[in-house]
Amino acid sequence: MDLSLLNSEQAKAVLHKEGPLLVLAAAGTGKTRVITYRIARLIEEGVPPGKILAVTFTNKAAEEMRQRIESLAPGRASAVWVHTFHGFCAKLLRQHYEAAKVSRYFTIYDQSDQKRLISDAMKECGFEREAAKASMYASIISRAKDDLLDAGSYAIYASTSIDPSRKIAAQIYSVYQKKIESAGGVDFGDLLLKVCSLLKEHPSIREYYQDYFLHVLVDEYQDTNHAQYIITKTLAAKHKNLCVVGDDDQSVYSWRGADIRNILEFERDFKETGVVTLEQNYRSTKPILEAAGRIINNNGRRKSKTLWTQRQGGAAVRVQELIDEREEASWVVQKIEEGKKSGHPLSSFAIFYRTNAQSRSFEEALRRAGVPYRLIGAMRFYQRQEIKDALAYARILLNPRDEISLLRVVNVPPRGIGKTSLERLKAFANARGLNASESFRDADKIDNLTPSCRKSLAELNHFFDKLRADLPNLSAWQAMARILDESRYLSWLEEESETDIEAASRLANVQELLSSVKEYEERRQARGSPLSLGEYLEEISLQTDRETTDTAADSITLMTIHLAKGLEYPIVFLTGLEEGLFPIGSGNSSKEELEEERRLCYVGMTRAKEMLYLTHTSARRVFGQTYSNIPSRFVMEAQLSGELSTERTRDYTATSAPVVPAQRLGTNLRIGARVRHPLFGVGEVLEKSGSGETAKALVRFENGRSTKLVLRYTPLEII
Ligand code: ATP
Ligand code: MG
């Protein structure tokens, strides 16, 4: 390995021998590079690759890390354990399913399955009227699990709380947990919680892994939650070779239970920790770093860091105000087309936004312009109805107790098993303390079922039994193909699609699912092992950041800022920088929430290598309502006044929806008038242009910032 590719501090971290190591450093300073080089180095020194565990935050990051290690230590990297926390835990639970008290082929429930089960639990507890709060309870329960509170512990905690919703949550939690366990499922929080208990309650298993992993490395450590922290700490307890890298300024998952204290207190928890700080940024130009630095400087509680770059020059960060989201999208697409003409491949562009809903206008504009794009996250492929149906069949095959999946597909395609029959089935099950899937087998003992319903149930049972018996000899793809065929799901969709366009697109998606199974299988075969249906299901249940389309073609990337963590692109558009959208919230957010938004902004900006554009609109439609906006405080904090550019790139046609009226100052605003802006403060009108709908004024504010404002949308007040 060529150490000259590292600076001296990086080399120090890579060559650090034994004992805990903390690398705390700002964006783009090579933290991930240190992890990959360190792993390659360990392998070079004779550490068996299979005894190294590296944990990253997203599947995309894990895949990238695997490739980087592979290229540094060719042919020797495949045995390294590179996982996300959830992936690693799923693997451990499969291995030790008995000790962990989970069913052998447990199903991993995603958020929507979880919500469904929580709604059921709420009904059972008599909280139907709270139905709208299912998401809230789902997140309370997930938070509790991240903090390692199982249903019992949470009930104790809730009993001492003065907040009545805690007591309700405790009841729901307990019923929900019974349900998910009886269905042989686990949710994301369970993966972590159950591994923690596994390691805690089984000294032999704990000691085995403590012995086994000679080195544990964690990237993006700032985003670990309590459960993840305990797992890491436990695994590294014996050899103490724990290397964590992170940046407290990039902690953006506190809503998912991430605990910034883990990084701030690492040195206290691990005695004699080697600490390395990296200060040179290799990613971005100076103007980008400076703008990002000015923003993050507004945060209170942070470890101070120096960050510099050797790079000279670099284009100024550009702020662009647009009229609405449609114009924002066309402006961005136009910039991309210009960039492409001057020689940048499409893969060098990325568009980031705060919320998934913002992707729509960009997608439309990109499609119109014929620019290929990859959308990461968002309306996930695996969330689609037809894909969930197909996967539900597969889940039942592996886990016959999976009630949610069974009820999902029992009558899809239609088999004459109606609501009433299902109610009877459930009542039968309840009376015997079984779950619906278990009673499914005894359908002939249930009263009042129609003969045709009985026949259908028997056929369905037969279908599952037969496939289940054949399963050990089938690859994932073969199994999936037979499921879709023999359940008649595919032929049903085919029939439907003759008359129904929606069904046609569902059919196409199911076919895409089949090709993607094939693709997984081939990728796995390249690594030398076959892929079973169970393994396939596990892989995709953990794919929370999968791309909607896996196009090899040159394309731009769209994603939320959360998913952009750790990645880099030459040209970045950070969009929707408006108060209320980014920072998100109604204006009464707490200081902590605001600081997290600011860190998110910092993460987004520091992804850019060459060029960074910040855009904001004066009006934006949100759920069909149009709101007038003021620019995000982050734009102001970036202090880009000297470089502000607000030129229009095309004529604007008025939005069709009514605009929540801002102060209509229009023509009676004079040059030289003093005005007040709710965010920018007091300023003076320097110029006026346009008229009517498009009247604008150039205002210089007392903080030095000058900006052109579209009066129709700007809440200016004359003073
Ligand atoms: P983030 O905080 O965003 O996760 P990071 O600290 O993990 O960033 P890396 O992604 O490892 O940073 O590195 C940023 C970029 O700088 C990468 O393109 C990497 O290849 C490059 N880089 C890092 N160190 C060096 C070096 N010593 N010489 C040349 N390039 C480097
Ligand atoms: Mg990184």
Per residue in 542-597, pLDDT (tens digit) is 765 555 444 557 899 999 999 899 999 999 999 999 998 999 876 677 888 899 99
Intervals of CATH 2.30.30.390 along the chain: 663-719
Centroid of ligand 2 to alpha carbon of 34 (angstroms): 9
Per-residue pLDDT at 628 exceeds 90: no
* 247 CA closest ligand 1 atom index: 2
Q: What is the C-alpha R_g of the chain?
A: 28
Of 16-25, 402-411, 513-522, the one with minimum mean pLDDT is 513-522
Tell me how far the alpha carbon of residue 418 lies from the centroid of ligand 1, in angstroms. Answer: 58
Active site residue 31: yes
Active-site entry in 228, 250, 320, 358? 250
Contact 630, 579 (CB under 8 A): yes
Q: What share of the chain is helix, strand, coil (3-state, %, to 5)?
A: 50, 15, 35
Least confident of 22-36, 327-341, 693-707: 693-707
Which ligand is the nearest neighbour of the Cα of 29?
1
Nearest-CA residue for ligand 1 atom 21 is: 282
User: Which of ligand 1's atoms lies nearest the C-alpha of 250?
Assistant: 2
pLDDT value of residue 629: 85
pLDDT higher than 90, residue 682? no
- What is the CATH T-level fold of the domain 8-82+213-229+239-280, as seen in this structure? Rossmann fold (3.40.50)
- Has 607 been annotated as catalytic? yes
> Which ligand 1 atom is nearest residue 607's CA?
3
Asked about 233 being catalytic, the answer comes back as no
Q: Write down the catalytic residue from 9, 146, 187, 220.
A: 220
Within the chain, what is the greatest distance between any pair of CA atoms?
87
Q: Which of 618, 615, 576 lies closest to 713, judged by CA?
A: 618
Nearest Cα residue to atom 19 of ligand 1: 30
607 Cα: distance to centroid of ligand 2 (angstroms):
10
How far is the C-alpha of 535 from the C-alpha of 515, rounded, in Å? 16
Give distance in angstroms: CA of 35 to centre of ligand 2: 9
Whether 402 is a known active-site residue: answer no
* Statement: residue 642 has pLDDT above 70: no
Considering the chain, what is the average pLDDT of its residues? Answer: 86
Percentage with pLDDT > 70 across the chain: 90
- Residue 567 makes CB contacts below 8 A (sequence gap 6+) with 60, 61, 350, 607
| Residue 431 scores a pLDDT above 70 | yes
Tell me how far apart the alpha carbons of residues 627 and 420 are, in angstroms, rounded to a whole number. Answer: 46
* 30 C-alpha to ligand 2 centroid (Å): 7
User: Is the predicted pLDDT of residue 678 greater than 80, yes or no?
Assistant: no
Which residues sit opposite 573 in a β-bridge?
A: 351, 613
Question: Lowest-pLDDT range, 89-93, 148-152, 435-439, 633-637?
Answer: 435-439
According to DSSP, residue 352 is labeled E
Q: How much is the pTM?
A: 0.79
Note the Cα 209 to chain centre separation in Å.
Answer: 29
The alpha helices in 297-346, defined as continuous H runs, are 325-341
User: Catalytic one among 32, 232, 285, 655?
Assistant: 32
Give the mean model confidence (pLDDT) for residues 406-411. Answer: 91
Domain with CATH 1.10.10 in the chain: 107-183
- Average pLDDT score over residue span 327-343: 96
Q: How far is ligand 1, taken at its centre, from the CA of residue 27, in Å?
A: 8
Numbered ranges of CATH 3.40.50.300 in the chain: 8-82+213-229+239-280, 288-380+549-652
How do beta strands 625-628 and 619-622 pair? Answer: antiparallel
- Tell me how crowded residue 269 is: count the other CB atoms within 10 A of its CB: 12
In this model, does residue 603 exceed pLDDT 80? yes
Distance 563 CA to ligand 1 centre (A): 18
Find the ligand nearest to 250 CA: 1
Burial (CB count <10 Å: 0-12, 13-18, 19+), residue 306: exposed
Superfamily (CATH H level) for 381-546: PCRA; domain 4 (1.10.486.10)
pLDDT for residue 655: 34
Q: What integer pLDDT is reported at residue 692 of this predicted model?
A: 65
| Nearest ligand to residue 61 Cα | 2
Chain centroid to Cα 305, Å, comes to 27
Residue 668 has pLDDT above 70, yes or no: no
Ligand 1 atom at minimum distance from 25 CA: 6
Query: Is 273 marked active-site?
Result: no
pLDDT class of 702 with cuts at 50, 70, 90:
confident
In tens, the pLDDT along 505-555 reads 788 778 878 877 887 888 788 777 889 999 999 888 876 555 544 455 789
Ligand that comes closest to the CA of residue 31 = 1
> Which of 146, 187, 219, 324 is an active site residue?
219
Among the bound ligands, the one closest to the CA of 278: 1
Tokens of residue 238, six digits: 């014996």
Catalytic one of 31, 395, 482, 599: 31
Residue 301: the pLDDT is 72
**469 is written with which tokens?**
């018996």
Domain spanning 107-183: CATH 1.10.287:
no
- Given 607, 648, 696, 705, the catalytic residue: 607
Q: State yes or no: pLDDT of 142 exceeds 90.
A: yes
Rounded distance from Cα 606 to ligand 2 centre (Å): 11
At 381 the three-state DSSP class reads: helix
DSSP, residue by residue, 664-712: --GGGPPTT-EEEETTTEEEEEEEEE--GGG-EEEEEETTS-EEEEEGG
CB 354 within 8 A of CB 581: yes
Map residue 216 onto helix, strand or coil.
strand
Answer yes or no: is pLDDT of 658 > 50: no
Nearest atom (ligand 1) to Cα of 35: 11
Q: By alpha-carbon position, which residue is closest to atom 27 of ligand 1?
A: 6
Structural contact between residues 715 and 662, judged by C-beta atoms closer than 8 angstroms: yes
CA of 568 to the centre of ligand 1 (A): 9
Q: Whose CA is closest to atom 23 on ligand 1?
A: 30
Q: Which residues line ligand 1 at a C-beta cut-off of 6 Å?
A: 5-7, 10, 25, 27-33, 247, 250, 282-283, 566, 568
Q: How far apart are alpha carbons 325 and 655 in whole angstroms?
A: 10
Q: For domain 288-380+549-652, is the CATH number 3.30.1490.20?
A: no
Residue of 6, 22, 32, 607 to mutate, ligand 1, most atoms within 8 A of C-beta: 32
User: How does residue 429 score in pLDDT terms, banded at 50, 70 and 90?
Assistant: confident
Which residue has the CA at smallest separation from atom 11 of ligand 1? 30
Neighbours of ion ligand 2 (CB under 5 A): 31-32, 566
For 663-719, CATH number?
2.30.30.390
How many CA atoms does the CB half-sphere of 189 hold within 13 Å?
A: 24
**451-470 helix and 385-398 helix, angle to the nearest 10 degrees:** 70
Residue whose CB lies within 8 A of the most ligand 1 atoms, among 218, 283, 284, for a mutation test: 283
Are residues 510 and 386 in contact, defined by beta-carbon separation less than 8 angstroms? yes
Mean pLDDT within 425-438: 80
Atom of ligand 1 nearest to the CA of 36: 11
Measured in angstroms, how far is the CA atom of residue 122 from the centroid of ligand 1? 48
Is there a contact between 654 and 666 (Cβ–Cβ < 8 Å)?
A: no
Distance 642 CA to ligand 1 centre (A): 30
Is 250 catalytic? The answer is: yes
Choose the residue to mutate in 2, 4, 9, 33 for probing ligand 1, maximizing ligand atoms within 8 Å of C-beta: 33
Of 559 and 269, the structure prediction assigns the larger pLDDT to 559
Relative to the alpha carbon of 3, which ligand is closest?
A: 1
Q: Terminal CA-to-CA distance of the chain, rounded, Å?
A: 67
Residue span(s) of the chain under CATH 1.10.486.10 come to 381-546
